[in-house]
C-alpha cells in the first residue's frame, strides 16, 4: 500500500516531474511547461477530489451526480481537443454517454460489480476516461481526414454517394486507428503491462485471481465503450458538411 503521508512521496514526484521536463527540454519538445503544469494540476485536483469523495461516497445520489460531472468535464476536454469548429460545445458527451451507459448497466445489473458507491465510482471513472480519450483521438483524426482528403470526398459525391457515405469512406480508417491503443493494451495485458485495476486490487489486499478478474472486466468494458463512442463520433462528423476545409456541424 502506498503511504500518502510519507515525506518521501513529494520528492519522488518532484524528481519524476523534473526528469520528464528535462528530457523534453533536451529533445527540444515544446511541452516542458505543460508537463510541469499538468503534474501540479493533477496533484491539486486529486487532493481536492480525495477530500470531496469522502463525502460523495456516502450517498448513491451524490455518486451519480459526480459521475455526471465526470462526463461533462470529459466532454468539454474532448471538444477542445477535437476542435471547437467540430460542433457545439459539449457535443462529445453524446458519444461518451452512449458508450459508457451500456457498459455500466451491464456490469451493475449482472451483479459482477456491486451497486455500491465505492465500487461504482472507480469503474465509471475508468470507463469515462477512456471513452474521452477514444472520442478525442477519433475526432481529431477524423477531422484531419476530412480536411486533407476533401478532394476524395468531392469525388465520391460526384460518383453518386451521399454525403454521409462519402465521409464514412474516409473516416472508418481513423476510427480503427483510434482503437489501436485499447486493443494493444488488451492483447498484451499481463505480458507487457499490469494496468491500474490489477495493481489497485493487489494494493488493496486482494488476491492475484481477484486482481485479474477486475482487470479483464475493466479492459473489456473499455473496449466496448470506446468502440461505441468512436462509431458515434464518426457518424456525427459524417453527417456534418465539409465546406472549404472546415467541418460545420
Q: Kindly indicate the confidence band of residue 119, based on its pLDDT and cuts at 50, 70 and 90.
A: confident
pLDDT of residue 249: 42
pLDDT of residue 62: 92
Does one domain contain both 11 and 93? no
> What domain range includes position 34?
1-56
What are the pLDDT digits (tens) for 96-117? 999 999 999 999 999 888 889 9
What are the pLDDT digits (tens) for 135-184? 999 999 999 988 888 888 889 889 888 888 888 999 999 999 999 988 99
Does one domain contain both 151 and 121? yes
Of the residues 30, 56, 82, which one is the last residue of a structural domain?
A: 56
Does one domain contain both 48 and 94? no
Does one domain contain both 17 and 72? no
Q: What integer best gives the mean pLDDT of the chain?
A: 86
Does one domain contain both 23 and 71? no
Does one domain contain both 227 and 239? yes
Does one domain contain both 238 and 127? yes
Total domains in the chain come to 2
Specify the pTM: 0.81
Does one domain contain both 112 and 182? yes
Does one domain contain both 45 and 68? no
Does one domain contain both 50 and 81? no
Q: Kindly indicate the confidence band of residue 245, based on its pLDDT and cuts at 50, 70 and 90.
A: very low
Does one domain contain both 201 and 101? yes
Q: List, as own/partner pairs, every contact residues 78-84 make where C-beta atoms lie below 8 angstroms and the sequence separation is at least 24, other chains included.
A: 78/132, 78/135, 78/136, 78/139, 81/136, 81/139, 81/140, 82/135, 82/136, 82/139, 82/140, 82/143, 83/139, 83/140, 83/143
pLDDT of residue 95: 96
Does one domain contain both 75 and 154? yes
Amino acid at each position: 500500500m502506498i503511504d500518502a503521508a510519507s515525506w518521501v512521496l513529494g520528492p519522488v514526484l518532484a524528481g519524476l516531474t523534473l526528469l520528464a521536463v528535462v528530457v523534453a527540454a533536451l529533445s527540444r519538445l515544446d511541452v516542458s511547461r505543460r508537463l510541469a503544469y499538468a503534474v501540479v494540476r493533477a496533484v491539486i485536483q486529486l487532493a481536492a477530489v480525495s477530500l470531496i469523495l469522502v463525502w460523495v461516497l456516502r450517498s448513491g445520489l451524490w455518486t451519480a451526480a459526480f459521475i455526471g460531472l465526470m462526463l461533462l468535464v470529459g466532454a468539454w476536454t474532448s471538444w477542445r481537443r477535437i476542435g471547437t469548429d467540430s460542433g457545439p460545445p459539449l457535443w462529445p458527451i453524446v458519444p461518451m454517454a452512449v458508450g459508457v451507459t451500456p457498459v455500466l448497466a451491464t456490469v451493475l445489473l449482472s451483479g459482477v460489480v456491486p451497486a455500491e458507491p465505492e465500487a461504482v465510482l472507480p469503474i465509471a471513472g475508468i470507463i469515462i476516461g477512456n471513452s474521452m480519450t477514444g472520442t478525442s483521438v477519433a475526432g481529431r483524426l477524423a477531422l484531419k481526414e476530412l480536411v486533407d482528403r476533401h478532394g476524395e470526398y468531392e469525388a465520391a459525391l460526384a460518383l453518386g454517394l451521399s454525403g454521409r457515405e462519402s465521409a464514412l469512406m474516409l473516416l472508418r480508417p481513423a476510427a480503427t486507428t483510434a482503437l489501436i491503443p485499447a486493443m494493444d493494451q488488451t492483447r498484451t495485458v499481463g505480458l507487457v503491462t499490469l494496468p491500474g485495476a490489477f495493481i489497485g486490487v493487489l494494493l488493496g489486499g486482494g488476491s492475484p485471481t481477484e486482481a485479474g478478474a477486475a482487470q479483464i472486466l475493466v479492459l473489456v468494458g473499455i473496449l466496448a465503450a470506446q468502440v461505441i463512442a468512436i462509431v458515434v463520433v464518426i457518424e456525427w462528423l459524417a453527417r456534418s458538411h465539409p465546406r472549404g476545409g472546415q467541418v460545420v456541424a
